[in-house]
Structure 1
Amino acid sequence: MDLIVYILILLLTGTFVGFASGLLGIGGGFIMVPVQFFLLTALGIDPDTSLRVAFATSLMVILPTALSGALGHWRRGAVLTGPAIILGTTGIIGGVLGAVISSQSPAALLSFIFGILALGSALWMIASRYPEIDKDPSHPKQSYLFWGFLGGFSSGLLGIGGGVVMVPLLNILLKFPIRKAIGTSTAFIIFASLGGIVTYIFTGINATGLPPYSVGYVNLLQFVALAGTSIPMARVGVKAAHKIPEKKLKYIFAALLVYIALKMMGVFQWLNLPL
């Protein structure tokens, strides 16, 4: 693959990821992981190594992107600071555990789990009725600690920010207004990604067959290309999130997840479709 094409694809992916992060309260891992994985395997990198590099680098990009998006949501009063901190506390622990398990698991299994989680989240969002909620929720700290760990674990295991899990949980189960679910999820992602990043660096420090410019499983070239466009675009996504009707936000989120899920599970390849 030509280097210019490789970099251009990463820059365009970062642009889309940043916008989606600010718009939907997701880290963007469900977009970055498949793109990086397919690019690295096209360059001849072993699939197991490619997927772990994609997971680790995705989290590295998600961290500053989430910081940018969370600041924008906080300025608009859409981040519930207390719940975000409590969720993030166990999110870090879950992120470490998920990354440790991912570093020892085969790529085919992780890719399939990745797709199942994305598809399940999409179907849940489509099927669930979103009540009109106009007041902030009140829940015991223990519930936030549990769901924070779950979101963090999925983050570390699959290289996602955890927002794909956290947004529906906050809105459907914990009764957050959708915009505050998105804003609080974006803040949670900051914590969840940290545990996974540190773990992937240490578990990959002695790995062989890594692409050039890698620190552990984090690839710095891909990080710079993706983060350079995703960070500014996150602020654009935040502005759009506060203008688009809530129902449209839900369906945009779900449609994106369905496509990514089918792609990672190999459904299009099985059906011989060029998607």
Structure 2
Amino acid sequence: MDFILYLFVLLLTGALVGFASGLLGVGGGFIMVPIQFFLLTSLGVDPTTAIRVAFGTSLAVILPTAISGALGHARRGAVLFRPMILMGISGLISSLIGGTIAANTPGIYLKIIFGILVLISGIWMLIAKYPEISGEPKKGVLSYIIIGFITGLLSGLLGVGGGVVLVPILVILMGFSMIRAVGTSTAVIIFTSLGGIIAYTANGFNVAGLPPFSIGYINLIQFAVLAIISVPMAQIGVKASHKLPEKQLRYIFILVMFYIAFKMIGVFSWIGLPL
């Protein structure tokens, strides 16, 4: 692949990731992972190594992007701090576990699991009956710790911030408005991505076949190009999320999830669509 095209694809991906992070409360890993994976394999990197590098680098980009988005949402009162802290600490611990598991799992399984997870989350958001939002979200220390643990485990395991799972849970089960779910999810992702970064860095040392300029399973070139545009774009996404109607924001979230799920599972390849 031509290096200029390679950089252009990464910059475009970073812009989409930053915007999606601010707009939808997701880390953007479900956009970055498949694109990084396809770029790395096109450069000749082994698929199992490529998917792990895609996961690790994705989490490295997610951290500063999530910080940018969370600050924007917090200024607008959309981050609930007590649930965020409970879910964040729990998620940091479990993302360490998830990243370690992923570093020792064949890439083909990780790719398919990633797609299935995103698909299930999208279907759930589409068919679920949404509660009438009145007053404050549900309380419960244990509930938020468990939710954070599940989110962090999936984050580390699949190289995503966890928002694709966390946002539906907060809206459907915990009574969050969509905008509060997006804001709080963005803040929790700071913790889950940090745990995953540690796991992918530690487990990737001295692994053969890594692309140049990698620290463990984190590639510094892809990180720098993606992050330089995703961080400022997160602020634009935040502004857009506070202007869109709740229902419209939810359907955008679902549509993006379906596309990424089908891409990673391989549905478009099976039916011969060049998407």
Shorter-normalised TM range: over 0.9
Which secondary structure state, in structure 2, belongs to the residue aligned with residue 189 of structure 1?
A: helix
2:219 match: 219
Deviations 1:87-134 (A, max 9, x none): 011101110110011001111111110010010011111111323413
Alignment of 1:117-132 (within 5 A): 117-132=117-132
2:68 match: 68
The answer as to whether partners of 1:135 and 1:177 remain within 8 angstroms in 2 is no
Which secondary structure state, in structure 2, belongs to the residue aligned with residue 208 of structure 1?
A: coil
1:133 aligns with 2:139: no
The answer as to whether partners of 2:21 and 2:65 remain within 8 angstroms in 1 is yes
Query: In structure 1, how many angstroms separate the alpha carbons of the residues matched to 2:109 and 2:63?
Result: 25
Shift of 1:135: 1.8
1:97 match: 97
1:157 aligns with 2:157: yes
Shift of 1:177: 1.2
Worse-superposed segment, 120-129 or 233-242: 120-129
Query: In structure 1, how many angstroms separate the alpha carbons of the residues matched to 2:58 and 2:104?
Result: 18
The answer as to whether partners of 2:138 and 2:175 remain within 8 angstroms in 1 is no
Deviations 1:46-67 (A, max 9, x none): 0000000000000000000000
Whichever residue aligns with residue 147 of structure 1, its letter is I
Query: In structure 2, how many angstroms separate the alpha carbons of the residues matched to 1:67 and 1:146?
Result: 23
2:23 match: 23
Alignment of 1:136-147 (within 5 A): 136-147=136-147
Deviations 1:163-202 (A, max 9, x none): 1110000110011111111100000000011111001001
1:3 match: 3
The answer as to whether partners of 2:92 and 2:192 remain within 8 angstroms in 1 is yes
1:232 match: 232
Alignment of 1:169-248 (within 5 A): 169-248=169-248
Alignment of 1:23-102 (within 5 A): 23-102=23-102
Deviations 1:21-41 (A, max 9, x none): 000000000000000000000
Query: In structure 1, how many angstroms separate the alpha carbons of the residues matched to 2:66 and 2:135?
Result: 24
Worse-superposed segment, 179-188 or 132-141: 132-141
Gaps in structure 1 of 5+ consecutive residues: none
Shift of 1:245: 0.4
Query: In structure 2, how many angstroms separate the alpha carbons of the residues matched to 1:37 and 1:17?
Result: 15
Whichever residue aligns with residue 252 of structure 2, its letter is I
Query: In structure 2, how many angstroms separate the alpha carbons of the residues matched to 1:239 and 1:69?
Result: 10
Whichever residue aligns with residue 84 of structure 1, its letter is M
The answer as to whether partners of 1:99 and 1:156 remain within 8 angstroms in 2 is yes
Worse-superposed segment, 126-135 or 174-183: 126-135
Query: In structure 2, how many angstroms separate the alpha carbons of the residues matched to 1:262 and 1:105?
Result: 21
Shift of 1:139: 1.5
Query: In structure 1, how many angstroms separate the alpha carbons of the residues matched to 2:128 and 2:234?
Result: 27
Whichever residue aligns with residue 263 of structure 1, its letter is K
CA RMSD of superposed structures (Å): 0.7
Which secondary structure state, in structure 1, belongs to the residue aligned with residue 60 of structure 2?
A: helix
TM-score of the aligned structures, taking structure 1 as reference length: 0.99
Query: In structure 2, how many angstroms separate the alpha carbons of the residues matched to 1:159 and 1:47?
Result: 15
1:265 match: 265
Query: In structure 2, how many angstroms separate the alpha carbons of the residues matched to 1:211 and 1:136?
Result: 48
Whichever residue aligns with residue 190 of structure 1, its letter is I
Whichever residue aligns with residue 226 of structure 1, its letter is L
> Percentage identity across aligned positions?
60
